[in-house]
Structure 1
Amino acid sequence: MAADHRLGFRNGEGHPPTDLPVEGDLPEWLSGVLLRNGPGRFSVGDQTVNHWFDGFALLRRFAIRDGGVEYASRFLRSDAYERARSEGALRHDEFGTRPDDGLRGRLRRLISGELTDNASITVTHRGGEFVAVTEPPRAWAFDPDSLRTLEPRRFDDGVDATGSTAHRHYDPRRGETWGLATRHGRNGGYVLHRRPDGSSRREPVATIEVDQPAYIHSFALTDRYAVVTEPPFVTSPRRLLTADTFLDAHEWRPEQGTRFFVCERAIGAVAGPYRADPCFVFHHANAFEADGELVVDLVAFDDASAVTDFELSNLRSAEPDLPAGELRRYRLPVGPTDSDEMPSVPSPEAARATASETPVEPTPTTLHEGPVAFPAIDYVERNGRSYRYVYAAGNRHDPPETFLNRLIKVDVGTGDARTWSEAGVHPGEPVFVPAPPGRRDGEDDGVVLSVVLDTDEERSALVVLDAVDLSVRARAPLPHALPIGFHGQFYRDGSRPIQSMA
């Protein structure tokens, strides 16, 4: 009997560098490295973690050069991983799992503020290093060739925050990385910050104070604004102290609605909140300014089951109950602007905002019903600007399916969609790689890379699709099945490493 999606939630393994067989023809211009991250092991001794987010980070590398693909994978040697491996038990509080060490152990961790450093969400390049990151503050540098874990990295710059969004933004025009940190405890809220190229310090731009901070995974960035989308999945200092896990410390408060805060990058001024009907948001697709409005495109879920349904017991069931997100557009009024440029450095009076209620209630437009997840665009050229295409993973409606089983290309202007799917194949996040500058013919001239799980063959594969029509250009089967991962970046040869995804 053939395997099913549950193959992607078994413990994985590292693999030494291996040349993969390539079926089809890779574009001759496609030369670089796809680095990906995601959970690779879900059990320690007799304990199985509770949530997908809690699996130990497994780095994956696909070097694409001269028509060939070399693959390797290796576990990130975080302190959480090394302690679990040496002691045979979980020793750090994870997102949805806590160690089975009783009240004394929990009190010790609360007093010490010991947070997991299991950096399993994505990878980034900062300060000349490749770094694995997650939402708690400590990240890990690693060697992009061998995937060997190097040193832990943590900012020491005075930004007062407990954690941060897993997704940062890079502005290539100004050479700046922008991030959003969350602050729990007294004066809770969010800190928008920037880090210029060459600097190791983050500079606060705006602080948004709220009574109960929400779980926020990403935000949107345009030339002039940062957009913070706050779902009503919130916590409090008391709940953080008394709940079993970080996930359990949050509760769904639909009466609060989903709120949008708009931060002006130049001066740190904050407008909002703009209040909309409640929804949960993991990922933004894009945002841009048009006719006095901010257009914000994101994947919206009905409620916080988008988080809780990723419990491992559900994902490992034959028919999991999975959240269904739709690609949705919101419009926020910001008024006309007088200049095409803005200062690259914010005013010293970075705003501390307890924003007053804004009467405008944004009404969403559905761009694609979905279900969709992991939206991707031509990030370098179109992030923060008017654009046309979103690539995403998704499910079929009819017949209903149990897990992500197709890739989708949505034209946000017309609503038209193309899809790619194969029987028994579950794709991961799509990564758009444009054709080289000077050789492009349209926004969608390029390829889409995705690491897919082929349950019939019981192994994974790297697939390379033509970004115009989603036809298969090449496929490189792996020697084994990889656990289903989260996010990554493609770094093109011959140019400095630059972010290719949010």
Structure 2
Amino acid sequence: MAKVSKEHAESPLGLKNTPENIAPVQLQVMGSIPSWLNGVMYRAGAGLFNILLEDGSTYHIKHPFDGLAMLHRFEINGKDNVVMYNSRHTSNGVKRRIIEKDPTLLTFGPDPCKTIFGKIQSVYLHITQMNKNAREMDSDPEFDMVNVTITPNFPLGKGLAKETGVPQGEAVVVKRDANTLQLVDKNTLGLYHEEEKCYIVYLLTLASTEPLKMFTYGHVDSKLKGQLCASHHQYDEEENEYVNFMVSLGPLPSFQSFSVSPYLPRLDGCGVEGKELTTTVHEPIWRHLGAWKTLEPLKPSYIHSFSMTKRYIIIPNFPYYYSYGGLSALYYSNAYQTFHWEDNRHTLFHVVERNSGRHVATYEADPCFSFHTANAWDEDIIRFDGSTETIINMDMCVYENTDIVDASFEFGKQAGSSFDAETVKPAPYVIKKKTAGKQDHKIAPSQVRRYRLNDVPVVQEAQRVNNTFLGISTDFNRRRVASYIVVGHDLELPRFNQRYNLRPYRYLWGVCQSKFAPSYASGAVVNGIVKLDLHHPTTDNSTALYWDEPGCSCAEPIFVPAVDGKQEDDGVVISIVNATTTEKDYCFMLILDAATLKEVARTTMGIWHTTTLHGSFMDESGRGVAVN
């Protein structure tokens, strides 16, 4: 820790704090925002990495994913070419726990200084303080850190809606890969000012990001139980259904998907007030022991997103497992040291039929890892013998192994950091990564793989009895293997036109390695933006387009469809870009024409960098049209 007098010391890791802008400010727009682009973009990410402690020393967060949560809000008015911006740090409870040295705080990255005694003590305290922490989380909306995805129109349920006063269909909720969610207020902005010892309330018509409630899926419906879930849910617009899954850890782990409907209010405003949500819990995946013929025991793995079609939910089970059924997290107090990669085991795709809720099949694939899925759809094809076969196509950004998780240590870091070597010892900041010592170590960029699941079982009406799960038929109980083709290279954080969700589509937008920076294997994560035409996927005839400028690193591009767009790529993509010049660091919002990736507008946010992971866009009516 670095000794300082008045403010925190600079991080030896190059991770810098991002200042918050509580009161909305109008940003200067360079260029012309399309007149049809009107609504609100939310972005979630990290904002605080260096925390001043009471003794004058500085606590330095060591992994970018552990940066304390920060939300950004952009109200975009294309009619008047105006952008209003405000932001807020939303993990002040976590900041307090760091200052108080709370040993039960779970992180993603490891603490190299933690002794064996400290780890054993951590297990004891996690168990003995479980109820106390649950009570504190219930009363403190910033008790834990939630900073991955942000979901407008979240289905709160009648109880939470009544407790918080947020009407159904109007909730804005931040999610993560654990069963902890954070409701943020979008009507007023109140913040306790420590120096003035009072609340400063800005009476604005603009939405804000003040945390209101920390909760779990069990608050939505008591049937939803488990410790883990996916940050990225799925949504079926036609069925108006929100879908996710829960993972229960322990000696007998299980996966269990569920759906909540109605998710969004009707456009005519009817049928929302007082309507109770219906939650459907599907058959748990545990008793079938993974792929039935191979009898691979089911192990809980790190799952950030999953796939869905009109008829099926597909939960990936990568061989990147939580050791000891996830219980080792209590020992290490972090996720990274809990994970382990088993390259001698298959990736499994567990298939649940949505209508019956039954786990109908598990498919094997080569060992691989993925953070993010893209689109998926099912279809019936006619075989040569005239019979019908159901298949599933699903696109994912896939890595050959988990080396990319090591690369995440470099996400958002800034060069040129200086610190006093006499007061900051480098040893606590040297993280032993799991890829250390590998010969010819390389981190290959992701492949966009299109997996194909053949001969998917169809549950017949005769096999459904009041939605009660019957025994597994012999047709289900056989080995199945997934195949794939590569439809694109070097694309992450995929976004597509959600009007094509759950059906065949053509275009993907995402980030790629910048040609102006070292590769991920060299310890840098600097991104450009890429658009892939999936009809022309190979290198020889690829029609991929890029936005990639020197000194710039782009965050996830959000595709927003044009209101009257006729083509799939009619619209814009919006990204947050960190830029570095010889004179300064700065950050700006970038708007590109989605079809050509030509810049149409940008607006500088501030003379600093910020780290954002994912974002969502709501139209003028408050309806999410680009949600991740």
Cα deviation digits, residues 294-348 of structure 1 (max 9, x gap): 1110000121222233235995678x98662121111101459799xx9xx9963
Moved more, 112-121 or 66-75: 112-121
Aligned partner (choices 158, 163, 169) of residue 234 of structure 2:
169
Task: Tell me the distance in 2 between the aligned counterparts of 1:480 and 1:89.
Answer: 33
Task: Tell me the distance in 1 between the aligned counterparts of 2:82 and 2:411.
Answer: 38
Moved more, 451-460 or 96-105: 96-105
Q: Is 2:72 the partner of 1:60? A: yes
Is contact 1:180–1:219 with CA below 8 Å preserved after alignment? no
Cα deviation digits, residues 16-48 of structure 1 (max 9, x gap): 311111011000010001001011112334433
Gaps of 5+ in 1: 1-5
Note closer, same or farther for the CA distance 1:365–1:199 as it changes in structure 2 (3 Å cut): farther
Which residue in 2 is equivalent to 1:143?
A: 185
Which residue in 1 is equivalent to 2:258?
A: 193
Q: Is 2:400 the partner of 1:302? A: yes
Which residue in 2 is equivalent to 1:134?
A: 176
Shift of residue 352, structure 1, vs aligned partner: 9.8
Which residue in 2 is equivalent to 1:213?
A: 300
Note closer, same or farther for the CA distance 1:353–1:453 as it changes in structure 2 (3 Å cut): farther
Task: Tell me the distance in 2 between the aligned counterparts of 1:262 and 1:445.
Answer: 33
Q: Secondary structure at the match of 1:214?
A: coil
Moved more, 127-136 or 418-427: 127-136
Which residue in 2 is equivalent to 1:21?
A: 28
Cα deviation digits, residues 212-238 of structure 1 (max 9, x gap): 211111001111111111110012235
| TM-score normalised according to structure 1 size | 0.88
Note closer, same or farther for the CA distance 1:419–1:447 as it changes in structure 2 (3 Å cut): same
Task: Tell me the distance in 2 between the aligned counterparts of 1:432 and 1:441.
Answer: 15
Shift of residue 460, structure 1, vs aligned partner: 0.8
Aligned partner (choices 431, 448, 458) of residue 573 of structure 2:
448
Aligned partner (choices 299, 302, 311) of residue 409 of structure 2:
311
Q: Secondary structure at the match of 1:254?
A: coil
Amino acid at match of 1:463: L
Is contact 1:393–1:430 with CA below 8 Å preserved after alignment? yes
Aligned partner (choices 359, 367, 372) of residue 270 of structure 1:
359
Task: Tell me the distance in 2 between the aligned counterparts of 1:23 and 1:32.
Answer: 19
Is contact 1:268–1:347 with CA below 8 Å preserved after alignment? no
Task: Tell me the distance in 1 between the aligned counterparts of 2:226 and 2:336.
Answer: 18
Note closer, same or farther for the CA distance 1:435–1:18 as it changes in structure 2 (3 Å cut): same
Q: Is 2:166 the partner of 1:159? A: no
Q: Secondary structure at the match of 1:324?
A: coil
Moved more, 400-409 or 347-356: 347-356
Which residue in 2 is equivalent to 1:403?
A: 525
Which residue in 2 is equivalent to 1:488?
A: 615
Amino acid at match of 1:147: T
Task: Tell me the distance in 1 between the aligned counterparts of 2:180 and 2:458.
Answer: 38
Q: Secondary structure at the match of 2:393?
A: strand
Note closer, same or farther for the CA distance 1:336–1:387 as it changes in structure 2 (3 Å cut): farther
Is contact 2:411–2:525 with CA below 8 Å preserved after alignment? no
Which residue in 1 is equivalent to 2:16?
A: 10
- Equivalent runs, 1:327-366 vs 2, <5 Å: 327-335=448-456, 348-349=467-468, 358-366=478-486
Note closer, same or farther for the CA distance 1:350–1:459 as it changes in structure 2 (3 Å cut): farther
Amino acid at match of 2:74: F
Which residue in 1 is equivalent to 2:249?
A: 184
Q: Secondary structure at the match of 1:487?
A: strand
Which residue in 1 is equivalent to 2:350?
A: 261
Task: Tell me the distance in 2 between the aligned counterparts of 1:164 and 1:143.
Answer: 23
Q: Secondary structure at the match of 1:263?
A: strand
Note closer, same or farther for the CA distance 1:350–1:63 as it changes in structure 2 (3 Å cut): farther
Is contact 1:135–1:166 with CA below 8 Å preserved after alignment? yes
Over the matched positions of the two proteins, sequence identity in percent amounts to 26
Task: Tell me the distance in 1 between the aligned counterparts of 2:174 and 2:472.
Answer: 31
Aligned partner (choices 567, 576, 591) of residue 464 of structure 1:
591
Note closer, same or farther for the CA distance 1:485–1:13 as it changes in structure 2 (3 Å cut): same
Note closer, same or farther for the CA distance 1:458–1:241 as it changes in structure 2 (3 Å cut): closer
Note closer, same or farther for the CA distance 1:224–1:434 as it changes in structure 2 (3 Å cut): same
Cα deviation digits, residues 417-469 of structure 1 (max 9, x gap): 11111111111001000011xx2121110000001111125111111100111
Is contact 1:34–1:489 with CA below 8 Å preserved after alignment? yes
Note closer, same or farther for the CA distance 1:322–1:39 as it changes in structure 2 (3 Å cut): farther
What is the root-mean-square deviation of aligned Cα atoms in Å? 3.2
Q: Secondary structure at the match of 1:9?
A: coil
Note closer, same or farther for the CA distance 1:56–1:63 as it changes in structure 2 (3 Å cut): same
Task: Tell me the distance in 2 between the aligned counterparts of 1:440 and 1:338.
Answer: 38
Q: Secondary structure at the match of 2:282?
A: strand
Task: Tell me the distance in 1 between the aligned counterparts of 2:366 and 2:575.
Answer: 33
Task: Tell me the distance in 1 between the aligned counterparts of 2:553 and 2:90.
Answer: 24
Shift of residue 241, structure 1, vs aligned partner: 4.7
Moved more, 299-308 or 238-247: 238-247
Q: Which structure is larger by alpha-carbon Rg, 1 or 2? A: 2
Aligned partner (choices 555, 558, 578) of residue 428 of structure 1:
555
Shift of residue 105, structure 1, vs aligned partner: 4.4
Moved more, 236-245 or 123-132: 236-245
Shift of residue 199, structure 1, vs aligned partner: 4.4
